[in-house]
Amino acid sequence: MQQFSDLELQRKRYRENNDCTVKAQAAAFNISYGRAHRQLTKAGRKHRKGASLSNMAKAIELQTGTPYASVIHELGKNRKAERMTIKRFCQTHPKGVYIIASTYHAMCVRDGKLVDWTAEGPQRRIVTSVYKVEE
């Protein structure tokens, strides 16, 4: 499993910013930052720009082979479900790997631990989308 600090080092080599989806995918699927970056680029993410939910779904499809419609459906399900904070999500999901999104940000939750720069903060953002990674 990659540490967030490792992903930050790789980000500097790519001269990237607004790359939370790249880091979330790399951490969730345990792949290199470069591979996640290439997949998101193929999915339509522009260099140094954030990725949309559909870009993220296309990249997950490239990684897993799961049809895009299934991925986007899974990501969109939480919009109608009980809205919870990132902290509550981590507490209620102690096992498994998830890619979660809040407004303007994406991150990975691995076995109840947040793999993100926001892990040290209060984690009060509302989770808007969830994708469970099958290991």
Locate 124 and state its tokens. Answer: 């009060």
Locate 8 and state its tokens. Answer: 């930050």
- In angstroms, the Cα distances linking 59 to 27, 32, 42, 50, 89 are 14, 14, 7, 13, 23
* pLDDT at position 134: 86
Please list the pLDDT of the chain residue by residue as tens digits (135 residues): 667 777 877 787 888 889 999 999 999 999 999 999 999 999 999 988 989 989 999 999 999 999 988 888 888 776 655 678 999 999 999 999 999 998 899 999 999 999 998 888 888 889 988 999 987
* pLDDT at position 80: 53
For the whole model, what pTM was predicted?
0.88
Q: If residue 62 lies in a helix (H) or strand (E), which one and from where to where?
A: helix 53-64
**Burial environment of residue 19 by CB neighbours within 10 A (0 to 12, 13 to 18, 19 or more):** buried
